[in-house]
Amino acid sequence: MEKGFLHVYTGDGKGKTTAALGLALRAVGAGLKVFVAQFVKGMKYSEFESLKKLSDFITIRQYGRDCFIYQEPTPEDITLARNGLQEVREILISGDYDLVILDEATIANHYNLFSVVELLQVIDSRSPHVELVITGRNADQRLIDKADLVTEMKEIKHYYQRGIQARTGIEK
């Protein structure tokens, strides 16, 4: 079995989750088993509905409320994220999945739902063959240093700047 690598998709541009889910589709096409953990997300995004249709190959769990954190996190936000991180640790140790995606884990870290040290410990606990992808803005430098691959999505221009809201099937 080949060694799994650690990917980090970060930056202020659009496309981090989309890139990770594109890799998940590629993995399924190759017969691999995928687990997607979405932190600070509890809303039913369109990708959630799509992935449910691939539930024989991709398992997705959300560890967030039905709204995004804009201010201080609530105790519920912290509990959901910490419980999710513990579940992810067990999944990574088991080696039952070939690809694990921790979507918005850097945002959970940024809002102090769990520490970067805790996240790094979870990363270190993974079975050697597991490919691990972590997405989100504001990736901690220690996470970037640990990663085998880092991609920064940089916003150059975005229609949000013209007041366009998130559209179903494109941004949500």
d(CA 22, CA 144): 21
pLDDT of residue 67: 66
pLDDT of residue 69: 64
Strand, coil or helix: 131: strand
Using the predicted structure, report yes or no on whether residue 23 has a pLDDT greater than 70: yes
Q: 88 φ, ψ to 5°?
A: -60, -40
d(CA 85, CA 106): 12
Res. 1 pLDDT band, cuts 50 70 90: low
- How many other C-beta atoms are found inside a 10 Å radius of the C-beta of residue 89? 17
d(CA 104, CA 161): 22
Query: What predicted TM-score, i.e. pTM, was given to this entire model?
Result: 0.92
Instruction: Locate the DSSP E strands across 13-137.
Output: 34-39, 58-63, 99-103, 131-135
User: Can you say how many angstroms the Cα of residue 152 is from the centroid of all Cα atoms in its chain?
Assistant: 15
Q: Please name every residue paired with 7 in a beta bridge, in sequence order, or none if there are none.
A: 133, 149
Domains detected in the chain: 6-162 (3.40.50.300)
Res. 145 pLDDT band, cuts 50 70 90: very high
pLDDT tens digit sequence for 79-138: 999 999 999 999 999 999 999 999 999 999 999 999 999 999 999 999 999 999 999 999
pLDDT tens digit sequence for 27-74: 999 999 999 999 987 667 778 788 888 999 999 999 988 766 667 888
